Structure 1
Amino acid sequence: MQLYAPTTLAPARDFWLLRYTSVLEDGSLVVCERSLNNTQNGPTMPPVQNFVRAEMLPSGYLIRACEGGGSIIHVVDHMELEPWSVPEVLRPLYESSTLLAQKTTMAALRHLRQISQDVSQPNATGWGRRPAALRALSQRLSKGFNEAVNGFTDEGWSMLESDGIDDVTLLVNSSPSKMMGVNLSYPNGFPSVSNAVLCAKASMLLQNVPPAILLRFLREHRSEWADSSIDAYSAAAIKAGPCSLPVSRAGSFGGQVILPLAHTIEHEEFMEVIKLENMGHYRDDMIMPVDIFLLQLCSGVDENAIGTCAELVFAPIDASFSDDAPILPSGFRIIPLDSGMDTPSPNRTLDLASALEVGPTGNRASGDNASNSGNRKSVMTIAFQFAFEMHLQENVAAMARQYVRSIIASVQRVALALSPSNFGSHAGFRPPPGSPEAQTLARWICQSYRCVI
């Protein structure tokens, strides 16, 4: 079993497992698994490139039938993820039982609940009339983003030389398996001209800014960090016909319309279509206004959730929105780094399953956790993918490197404005309720008064 690395700062994990499945006398189904090692006289598996061998201690599932229908599922996850092999600042991601529960256990339970809802109440699901198709699109977005972040060599990725500054990593992939998702035939009969994919990725440490608030700002204010000409290039590069390299021009960003598409039961994850109107695309020495559509997956926007990873993943799509449309995801992932999450608190339940309660109070931490959110650290991972023609590799690489650096600068500027520390250093101070825009405006007003005084 292999697990993707959540950031670009540490390698992925893999497991060599023994799994046992059995049906008990009462009809319950049990699935048990644990790692194999030399001490158990089992077969050995050599190390795999790009992976660190981790250990799974006895874990598994117990599924029991309920009276009147339905079932109860018990889940146990117990892993040793070798935290010694990652930078010290990231070790909470590999040591915290709370983060493991949120990332693995709770995610599995939510996924099972969503599938059950889709099957038992198809008209009440938030995934519309075609839940399986929309869920498949969601999985393609997540998988494509994880593949870009990890860049495994056995999937065709190879690293490009650095320009002397190691803040942004560039990878290129021209393998047939990767290009199958891009070089599709379109209704006009012509295939896409692009024959390779370039990924620019980076990770950065953030302090004193809640991941959910920062992610909401990035989602709602795309013009604050995105370059409209590069958005237009990314959309054109996966379509039939040649496209020129983008030329950045001021004032070419049109309007942004968010069209809701689907959401999970608890609204912790939702998918939407972003329509970027009247984008100024530079082509053949002319600025051509076009509408661009992005398929976007967003999760972790509840700032009161415990240890929740916030993600914003998107990909340009064709207006026809066909099921087999090529998807080349890019986006952001923000993971809180808080080793103090596992400290017992009298105000927080130790039963994480209670967080699955549906409703506005579900999956929320106590007030003492929320009030300290401004003093926590988090790591943001950025990965952007670009389809291109091989003879343009140097130009696209320079463009991608500069673009990601500009995004990093924009994120740092926004994070500084959204940081609760801008209000002052009063202990226990909590930001007022409201949108990120209102909070930012209030901070700027306070700062202007300080300057005048």
Structure 2
Amino acid sequence: MNFGDFLDNTSCSGGGARIVAFNNNSSMPGGAIGEARFLTQSLSSKPMFNSPGLSLALQTSMEGQGEIARNNEMSNAGGRRSRDEEPDSRSGSDNMDGASGDDQDAADKPPRKKRYHRHTPQQIQELESLFKECPHPDEKQRLELSKRLSLEIRQVKFWFQNRRTQMKTQLERHENSILRQENDKLRAENLSIREAMRNPMCTNCGGPSVIGEVSLEEQHIRIENARLKDELDRVCALAGKFLGRPMPNSTLELGVGGNGFAVIPSDYGIPSSLPMPEMPVNPVEKSMYLELALAAMDELVKMAQSDEPLWIRGLDGGREMLNQEEYLRASSPCIGMKPNGFITEASREIGMVIINSLALVETLMDSNKWAEMFPCLIARASTTQVISSGVGGTRNGALQLMNAALQVLSPLVPVREVNFLRFCKQHAEGVWAVVDVSIDNIREAHAFPSCQRLPSGCLVQDMPNGYSKVTWVEHIEYDEGVVHQLYRPLVSSGMGFGAQRWVATLQRQCECLAILMSFPVPSRDHSSAITAGGRRSMLKLAQRMTNNFCAGVCASSVHKWNKLQTENVDEDVQVMTRKSIDDPGEPPGIVLSAATSVWLPVSPQRLFDFFRDEQLRSEWDILSNGGPMQEMAHIAKGQDHGNCVSLLRANAVNSKQSSMLILQETCIDRAGSVVVYAPVDIPAMHVVMNGGDSAYVALLPSGFAIVPDGAGSDTGDRVSGSLLTVAFQILVNSLPTVESVETVNNLITCTLQKIKAALQCES
């Protein structure tokens, strides 16, 4: 569930409102026709993963005739291949050393014992790294690699042959296992259908049915059975082409349910946009993605479930820190070595969230819902390619390529652009995991990224009370040099992009959704003018206002901003312009944005309370006309009174100002807080408060973002405090001039001076 879907499709009040987003359970397709269609869909979407427990390893043993047939085919091939043509029978990391495969007569020389050469871990790491980039190296690459690793060229050649064979064999075994399970399931259902046909029952009264009464139904079953068998043959043929060998087809007879209709799986309790279709992927590239996703999932689960010595706490018993030595000893990195100059940021957080596992998984796998669930953390997100949409209409086994821009609300911290794989897997009933891992090392990138995402994500487990236990892991390597000195303690501690911020934001957003979907909606309206539809419109307008504020602070690609370089502006003040788009909610002209960040020796809670106090508004806001403001409407968005949307009115000095109101949204959690506001016209707000379309209300947001400074305790002469970001957006009629830039710069400078004076921290 996201705010956009909720505000479009549900009412904030009204009889019979239900919190369906957190308690619905999805059901698998039922009935024989449902299982038959489930099989054909599953065969068309690979890779598929359906292991019952937390084990992530591919099945390495095969049962049945498929493995025996392959062994017989190899033993009867006839003749003996030379050593140069035959890959080593051992694993891709162990190669045989000795004479080359010349034709020798066993009668001339006694057979000598074969000697095996085991590669060193450094050699294996180099070979694996090249294999991810080029599974089929040419002669020149093999020669260069053999010199660098002190190996013979034939050893390098054999290693790559064995590695390719190993990858193909693992994929074949895994998919054969899935197909065999589906065949067994259909066979069992077919037997039950045959048994039901022998003893037909009347669907109306439940008593025995006369044989002649089911002849028409039986005819429909046979027609549907023939159609499904043809579809199964077609899918098996396609699977055979992918695997490079004929796929054995089942001879069982398929059937459908007694009513002739398949059971449609229920939704996850939240509205969902249409899923992107699966896109064709090169088989070698698909195998590499699959291998990377499985390795990343394995590492995520280990990091989520392990405690000491992998995770250790500081001397003060505070946040957890990753033991890098133990991490490198226990697992090999999924995406290669850390680039020079990069540092590691790792964090873990566990929390209870008022959402069920299916709803959360659906939110994470939909890029639009994901971005709306974390509005101040994600500047932009998109799904670039769907490799697998999952099995049987669920997200189990879903694998997709995604792109995202992650942000801290400050112009001093660049936006993190990441390209990554997102893989979802169900480990047990009510237990899901979603993992992300960067793919820049296995795809040709135009520029080297400033950060790469090591296996990160969350493990979600349903709780009996409708909540979910979420264990979130964030693991990133990044270039610290691009971050301003002021924000380095915050970012390196994991509080900027780390797990604590993800979980805190998730808890706040889910609590907000639960409250807005309850009845009645908590509010402190000072008049009865605002309607239930008006609350919806106000919330949508506030959401757009906050999103535009975040985009202006971080210069994200949501809007096309142009940075200005001027001499009359402070070094830490970022000034940007953009042309207003042709949209009813955009004021015509050029938008000028200015933002800066400062450190204040004040706690984040005290700073937040200062900004949201209407009685103290005149101490920093020029829109207050020198006096306190009055709250006209209040819509709660959480248990904390600081999470709300308000409508404020200032004392009017003249007739022009009497037609102005202030729309404000405030949000706070353990990771930080924001206060965003914008002036709006009274006639336009009357339309919104009566349930009108809020998209036609033009606004330019300003506000504050507050986060802890990351110091944690006294450090020398500096005490722990807050990092405050101040941002304003104003409208200019034409291209910005020196005067307009100075105006917005002076507005920021004057506001900061008033804030410091009011909080008595001018020095």
Deviations 1:302-324 (A, max 9, x none): xxx75x42321101122232222
Counterpart contact for 1:155–1:175, Cα < 8 Å? no
Mapping 1:270-281, distance limit 5 Å: 270-280=644-654
Specify the code of the residue in structure 2 equivalent to 1:172.
Answer: T
- Deviation string 1:10-61 (CA, Å, 9 cap, x unpaired) is 21112111111234552544322222241xxx3244349xxx6333332334
Asked if the contact 2:633–2:647 (Cα under 8 Å) also holds between the matched residues in 1, the reply is yes
Following superposition, the deviation at residue 199 of structure 1 comes to: 0.9
| Contact map agreement 1:160 1:170 (CA 8 A) in 2 | yes
* Structure 2 match to 1:55: 452
Offset from partner CA, 1:279-338 (integer Å, 9 cap, x none): 447xxxxxx5524211111233xxxx75x4232110112223222212321011122112
Q: Identity of counterpart residues, as a percentage? A: 21
Q: Does 1:160 align with 2:556?
A: no
Q: How many residues align?
A: 335
Aligned mate of 1:12, from 391, 411, 415:
415
- 1:275 Cα deviation from its structure 2 partner: 0.6
* Aligned residue in 2 for 1:243: none
Q: Deviations over 1:341-389 (max 9, x none)?
A: 7xxxxxxxxxxxxxxxxxxxxxxxxxxx9xxxx9313221111001221
Give the corresponding residue for 1:3: 406
The verdict on how the C-alpha distance between 1:407 and 1:64 changes in structure 2, with shifts beyond 3 A counting, is: same
Instruction: Summarize the Cα distance change of 1:392–1:19 in structure 2 as closer, same or farther, 3 Å threshold.
Output: closer
The question of whether the paired residues in 2 share the 8 Å contact of 1:277 and 1:291 is answered with: no
Whether the 8 Å contact between 1:28 and 1:63 is mirrored in structure 2 is: yes
Deviates more, 1:142-151 or 1:407-416: 407-416
Q: Which amino acid aligns with 1:272?
A: S
Structure-2 residue corresponding to 1:80: 476
Structure 1 pair 135–15 and aligned structure 2 pair: CA distance change class (3 A): farther
Matched, 1:311 2:674: yes
Q: CA deviation at 1:224?
A: 1.6
User: In 1, are the aligned partners of 2:578 and 2:590 still within 8 Å (CA)?
Assistant: yes
Partner residue, 1:294:
662
Which residue in the other structure is 1:264 paired with?
637
Choose the corresponding residue for 2:619, options 224, 227, 230: 224
TM-superposition CA deviations, 1:65-104 (whole Å, max 9, x none): 455x735242413132623431333112212245634422
| Aligned 8 A contact 2:569 2:745 in 1 | no
Alpha-carbon contact 1:202-1:383 (below 8 Å) kept: yes
Alignment pair present for 1:213 and 2:606: yes
Residues 213 and 291 (structure 1 numbering): CA distance in 2 closer, same or farther, change over 3 Å?
farther
Q: Is the 8 A contact 1:274 1:296 kept in 2?
A: yes
Deviations 1:216-252 (A, max 9, x none): 2233322222224xx8xxxxxxxxxxxxxxxxxxxx5
Structure 1 residues 8, 415: CA separation in 2 closer, same or farther (over 3 Å shift)? farther
Q: Answer yes or no: is the 8 Å Cα contact 2:456–2:474 preserved in 1.
A: yes
Is 1:253–1:279's contact at 8 Å kept on the other side of the alignment? no
Q: How does 1:403-442 map to 2 (within 5 A)?
A: 403-416=747-760
State the distance in 2 between where 1:315 and 1:94 align.
29
Contact 2:461 2:469 in 1 (8 A): yes
With the length of structure 1 as denominator, give the TM-score of the two structures: 0.65
Does structure 1 conserve the Cα–Cα contact (< 8 Å) formed by 2:578 and 2:591?
A: yes
AA in 2 matched with 1:378: S
Question: 1:33 corresponds to which residue?
Answer: 436
- 1:43 matched to 2:439? The reply is no
CA–CA distance in structure 2, aligned partners of residues 37 and 417 of structure 1: 46
Check whether the contact 2:453–2:475 (CA below 8 A) recurs between aligned residues: yes
Bigger-Rg structure (1/2): 2
Letter of the aligned partner of 1:169 in structure 2?
Q
2:707 maps to amino acid = I
Using a 3 Å threshold, how does the CA distance of structure 1 residues 393 and 116 change in structure 2: closer, same or farther? same
* Letter in structure 2 aligned against 1:92: P
Helix, strand or coil at the partner of 2:760 = helix
Counterpart in the other structure of 1:96? 493
Deviation at 1:390, TM superposition (A): 0.8
Within 5 Å, give how 1:358-437 maps onto structure 2.
375-390=719-734, 393-416=737-760
Q: Is the 8 A contact 1:61 1:73 kept in 2?
A: no
Which structure 1 residue ranges, 5 or more long, are not aligned? 184-193, 232-251, 282-287, 342-368, 420-453
Taking the aligned partners of 2:735 and 2:436, their CA distance within structure 1 comes to 49
**Aligned equivalents of 1:340 and 1:392: distance in 2?**
41
Distance 1:117 1:58 in 2: 33
Between the aligned partners of 2:660 and 2:483, the Cα distance in structure 1 is 39
2:710 aligns with: 338
1:216 aligned counterpart, secondary structure: helix
Q: Larger relative contact order (C-alpha < 8 A, sep ≥ 6)?
A: 1
CA distance in 2, matches of 1:5, 1:66: 32
Distance (Å, rounded) in 1 between the aligned partners of 2:629 and 2:672:
25
* Aligned pairs (5 A) from 1:109-120: 109-119=507-517
2:610 maps to a residue whose letter is F
Q: Over aligned residues, Cα RMSD in angstroms?
A: 3.2
- Sort the Cα spacing of 1:113 and 1:91 in 2 relative to 1 into closer, same or farther, 3 A: same
Aligned position for 1:349: none
Q: Is the 8 A contact 1:126 1:265 kept in 2?
A: no
1:264 maps to amino acid: K
Indicate conservation of the 8 Å contact 2:560/2:578, yes or no: yes
Q: Quick one: structure 1 residues 98 and 388, their matched pair in 2 at CA, closer, same or farther if it must change by over 3 Å? A: closer
TM-score, with structure 2 as normaliser = 0.40
Cα separation, 1, equivalents of 2:729 and 2:569:
20
Q: Which amino acid aligns with 2:607?
A: L
Q: Given the superposition, is the C-alpha separation of residues 408 and 340 from structure 1 closer, same or farther in structure 2, using an over 3 Å criterion? A: closer
Residue-by-residue CA offset, 1:109-156 (whole Å, 9 max, x unaligned): 22123323434x232556994575454334322211111111246732
- Return closer, same or farther for 1:73/1:113 CA change in 2, 3 Å cut-off: farther
From 699, 702, 709, give the equivalent of 1:327.
Answer: 699
What's the counterpart of residue 354 of structure 1?
Answer: none
- Kept after mapping to 2: 8 A contact 1:37/1:43: yes
Whole-angstrom distance in 2 between the partners of 1:16 and 1:27: 29
Structure 1 residues 169 and 63: alpha-carbon distance in aligned structure 2, compared to 1, 3 A threshold:
closer
Question: 2:181 is matched with which residue?
Answer: none
CA distance in 2, matches of 1:224, 1:254: 8
In structure 2, what residue type is equivalent to 1:173? R
CA contact (8 A) 2:712 2:720 kept: no
Distance in 1 separating the partners of 2:514 and 2:610: 33
Q: Is the 8 A contact 2:594 2:727 kept in 1?
A: yes
Residues 97 and 170 of structure 1: is their aligned pair in 2 closer, same or farther, counting only changes over 3 Å? closer
* Post-superposition offset of 1:170: 2.0
Equivalent position SS for 1:78: strand
Contact 1:13–1:81 (8 Å) recurs in 2: no
The separation in 2 between residues aligned to 1:154 and 1:129, in whole angstroms, is: 31
Separation of aligned partners in 2, 1:16 and 1:151:
19
Shift of the 73–327 alpha-carbon distance from structure 1 to 2, 3 Å rule, reads farther
Equivalent-residue separation in structure 2 for 1:137 and 1:289 (angstroms)? 21
Q: Is the 8 A contact 2:454 2:477 kept in 1?
A: no
Distance 1:339 1:165, change over 3 A: same
2:463/2:469 contact within 8 Å kept: no
Aligned equivalents of 2:619, 2:596: Cα separation in 1: 19
